[in-house]
Structure formats: C-alpha cells, structure tokens
Structure 1
Amino acid sequence: MTFANYPSLSGRVVFVTGGASGIGADIVRAFAGTGARVAFVDIQEEAGRALADELGGAAHQPLFLRCDLADIGATQAAVAEVGRRLGPIGVLVNNAANDDRHEIDAVTEEYWDWAQSINLRPQFFTAQAVRPQMRALGYGSIINFSSIAWRGGAPNMPAYTTAKAAVLGLTRSLARAFGADNIRVNAIEPGAVMTEKQYALWYKTPESVDALVSRQCIRTVLHGDEIARTVLFLGADDSRMITKQSIIVDGGLI
C-alpha cells in the first residue's frame, strides 16, 4: 500500500509525549520519516535513547528528553528546552497515557489522582506551555489522545475512561481558546491497538487477538502505524481548517 507524504511537515518542530514505545514510538518514526524535527519525552530512558539511535539516519535525528509528565514543572522545562534547541514547536502530540486496569472497590484517592496525573493533567499543561511558541509561529496543531474505551464504558478502568472522556471536553475548549492564534486542537480516539504492552498484558494468545478483531468491521489487527498516519494528517497543513474535532481510528470496533 502507498500512503500520503506531507511536505508541510518537512523541517517542522514536533513534540511528542510518551514517545519511547508503543503508539508514541510509531508517531515519532512517522514524523521523522517526513523530515520533521522531532523531539519526544518519556520516563523510559533506555527505550527513548534506543529509538533516537534507531532513527539516526533520518533527515533530522529525533531529540529524546527524559521527562516524568506527572511533574508539570519538568514538562514545562522540556517544552522550553525543545524550543531553544530545535526552534518553536509547531505540532504537539499529547500521546502519553497509562491504561492500567483497576477494580472500582480498590481505587483510592491516591490512585485516582495518579491516573489523572498521567492521562489528563499533562495534556492541558503541555498545551498551555507550547501555546506561546505556536503563537510566535503564527500557527500550530495540537493533537490530544483520547480512547474509545470511554465510549464502550469499560468497567475495569473507570479512572482511565474518565480521563479519556475529559480529553474531548478539553480539546473543544482549547480549540475555541486557541483558535484566534491559528492554533488547531483536535483529538484521536484509538481502538484496540496491538502494541507490545497489549500483547504482554491483555492479549497473550492468538485466540484472544482473533476474538477482538472479529468484533471490528475491518477485520485486520490494528497497529500503531495506522494511528500515526492520522496524526500526520492532523499535524500537516492539509488539515488546516479542521479543529475542535475527534477522529476515531478503531477499524469499526465501537
């Protein structure tokens, strides 16, 4: 199959959260392949450095910075450092998340706050931090990550699904607030993307994967590169009049 290339992304500075593994790593690879100047942050230092090394042959080798997104000050500092080293950020991908399963009766205040500190809070504060850089550029695209999990009402992850539902409200508010600066804000709701983590924790057998895929309209295993191509489109100028929207990429699961 042949996929689109986006010339407007060549040389553009892109900031990806949670980019060391899973969907995030596929997003980093996709942007690097367009010639973008990619920076990505993650708490997984070894995986992050390995990915940056893997992409050393790209037009611009990605910049990896270790960052715990639960630490808002560290996140703001990372955004500022990328601006200094690569130039103003034109695309922000708020990808980082943790879809930890949890029983309702076992949830404590501390666990609830931790879940929001990973799955919701950084999306707002990272967007807030990049806004001045995008305003200086005269444009920008922010892509927030939600999930179809909230639409289905997944019963074993209410803290996660609450955060992912809230991402859509955040997206719509930021799109309205940032629009006058020509900054677009959209969301993506991935379906059951088969990452290494999903295989290791939740879908350990071919039969469990087949049972999931059989519920999709398009009965093909969903991988991170499919999500990454949607991110490229929303980051590129081709989508310049699309804002305040959410795109579901799930093969028709929901």
Structure 2
Amino acid sequence: MPAMFPDLKDTSVFITGGGSGIGAALTEGFMAQGSKVAFVQRTDAAAFCDQMERKHGSRPFFIPCDITEIPALKRAMDEAAEMNGPITVLVNNAANDQRHDTEKVTEEFWDWCQAVNLKAYFFACQHAIAGMRLAGGGSIVNFSSIAYMMGAAGFPGYAAANSGINGLTRSLAREFGPDGIRVNAIAPGWVLTKRQKDLWATPEKLAAHIERQCLKRELAPADIVDPVLFLASQASAAMTGQSLVVDGGVAVTG
C-alpha cells in the first residue's frame, strides 16, 4: 500500500504513459489517494482501466495519444482538465530507452529519441503552466534516469535527454516558483518492468547491476510510486528544482 497524502484527494492529475509499467503503478497509486487521474499512451489501455475501476470503484480517464504529436498532447491535456478540473499535478513519465549504437544513429532516430524523451516533456510543462497558475500552484514531476549520471553506454540519445530533463526541471523551477508551481525530477535506477524483463534484463546483466546497488534486490514499479506521490503532495512543499534518485544506491556508490 502506498503512503497516504490527504491533500492529493480530488486533485486533478495528468500522467504520460500511465497505462503500463511504472506509469500504471503511478496511476493506481494516485487513484488510491482519491485523485482524479487522466493519462495518455499510444497503446490501448481499456483493459487496465477496467481493472482499476473494479479495484477502486472509479475509472481513470484514458486518452489515446502519441506524445510526440504535440498538438495531440495539448488537446489531451485540455480534455483532462475539462473532465477532472485544472491539472495541478503533471507527471511526465513516458519515455523510450531503446538501445542504440552511437556510430549507427541517424538524424531521424536522434530527432525521434529527443521528441519522446525531452521535447514532449517541455511542451507538457508549458501547457500545464497557465492552469496551475490560475489554481494557485501545482507540482510537476519529470522522469529522468540515473543513466546520465553514471555515463551509461548503449543509449547516448536517451542519456542526453535525461540530462536535458534535469536542466529543464531546474530552469522551470526557477521561472515559475513565484507562481507557486514546483518542478522536480525523479531519477529511477533499473526498475524491472515487463518491458525491461522482456528486452534487456538477462540474468547476468541483472546480477551485475544488483551487485552495484547498496540494496541487494530488484527494483519494482511500486518502489517509484511513493517518491512520486511525495513530490506531488504538500509533504514536499518546500522542494523544487530537485532530482530525487531512487535507484537502490547505485549512483551513491558509483
């Protein structure tokens, strides 16, 4: 069970990629707080919404959307605000950590990688600002990764975008702090979603990674929920421009 943050009840929350992996855990975590949750993703999430409705007695508002299509992303945010009230919690979670070889990267792949992992984050933040300002404040949580901190090889475009998210977070926190809008980042380590298990997490790689962690166990999507709820809630009211690392203690040990 997640920790409870009473101020999140009835809060209008918008999550990108909120129907699978970490995003699905976040959607459920906010629903357990009594938040009004809307989310977008490309793939159909009707079955997930059915599951949430059976479990929580309310249904998250799912809007099919490719976040690289910025006009569509903005329209989805407007629909969510119309349904649930002005968005006062924005979680930029959707990302794609497709592995790629530096020497084979094309301009098209680079542009797509930045569009998914950085550009959409900026424009979601931009579009949320006006409503948050009118509401008297809000909280934005941007997903980064320890990939850029550790100099991880094998996905330089993704690592570059993660570093950019950190800079974006600090810049927006400074600019919109006077409006009561907080902007923080969360940097997970290797969280074992189904995608990670299917594509990258061989027993050998996983064992080597856990050896680098201070905490000798696999990280699950549920491990990320409480930290995001904390950053979204008034429990972190004096925090902005920060990056919260949730990685089992990899970055701290190098």
TM tier relative to shorter chain? over 0.9
Amino acid at match of 2:208: A
Q: What is the CA–CA distance in structure 1 between the aligned matches of 2:238 and 2:149, rounded to whole Å?
A: 26
Q: What is the CA–CA distance in structure 2 between the aligned matches of 1:39 and 1:145, rounded to whole Å?
A: 17
Which residue of structure 1 aligns with residue 182 of structure 2? 184
Aligned-residue offset at 1:51: 1.5
Per-residue CA deviation, residues 49-97 of structure 1 (Å, 9 max, x unaligned), is 1211111042532110000000000000001111111111110000010
Which residue of structure 2 aligns with residue 80 of structure 1? 78
Amino acid at match of 1:145: F
Q: Does 1:213 align with 2:210?
A: yes
Q: What is the CA–CA distance in structure 2 between the aligned matches of 1:163 and 1:38, rounded to whole Å?
A: 26
Q: What is the CA–CA distance in structure 2 between the aligned matches of 1:59 and 1:135, rounded to whole Å?
A: 31
* Closer/same/farther in 2, CA of residues 59 and 245 from structure 1, 3 Å limit: farther
Alignment match of 2:148 (pick from 141, 145, 150):
150
Alignment match of 2:118 (pick from 112, 117, 120):
120
SS at match of 1:52: helix
Which residue of structure 2 aligns with residue 44 of structure 1? 43
Structure 2 unaligned segments of length 5 or more: list them.
Answer: none
Q: What is the CA–CA distance in structure 2 between the aligned matches of 1:244 and 1:85, rounded to whole Å?
A: 29
SS at match of 2:53: coil
The answer to whether the 8 Å contact 1:16/1:93 transfers is yes
Identity, % of aligned positions: 46
How does 1:91-240 map onto structure 2 within 5 Å? 91-205=89-203, 207-240=204-237
The answer to whether the 8 Å contact 2:2/2:29 transfers is no
Q: What is the CA–CA distance in structure 2 between the aligned matches of 1:52 and 1:181, rounded to whole Å?
A: 34
The answer to whether the 8 Å contact 1:36/1:60 transfers is no
Runs of 4+ in 1 over 4 A off after TM superposition: none
Give the stretch that moved more between structures: 208-217 or 117-126: 208-217
Aligned-residue offset at 1:140: 0.2
Q: What is the CA–CA distance in structure 2 between the aligned matches of 1:25 and 1:34, rounded to whole Å?
A: 15
Give the stretch that moved more between structures: 48-57 or 122-131: 48-57
Q: What is the CA–CA distance in structure 1 between the aligned matches of 2:81 and 2:104, rounded to whole Å?
A: 42
SS at match of 1:28: helix
The answer to whether the 8 Å contact 1:35/1:59 transfers is no
Q: What is the CA–CA distance in structure 2 between the aligned matches of 1:101 and 1:134, rounded to whole Å?
A: 36
Q: What is the CA–CA distance in structure 1 between the aligned matches of 2:63 and 2:168, rounded to whole Å?
A: 26
SS at match of 1:120: helix
Which residue of structure 2 aligns with residue 248 of structure 1? 245
Q: What is the CA–CA distance in structure 2 between the aligned matches of 1:49 and 1:150, rounded to whole Å?
A: 34
Aligned-residue offset at 1:211: 2.8
Alignment root-mean-square deviation, CA? 1.1
The answer to whether the 8 Å contact 2:2/2:225 transfers is no
TM-score scaled by structure 2?
Answer: 0.96
Alignment coverage as a number of residue pairs: 250
Aligned-residue offset at 1:154: 1.5
The answer to whether the 8 Å contact 1:35/1:60 transfers is no
Structure 1 unaligned segments of length 5 or more: list them.
Answer: none
Give the stretch that moved more between structures: 127-136 or 91-100: 127-136
Which residue of structure 2 aligns with residue 13 of structure 1? 12
TM-score scaled by structure 1?
Answer: 0.96
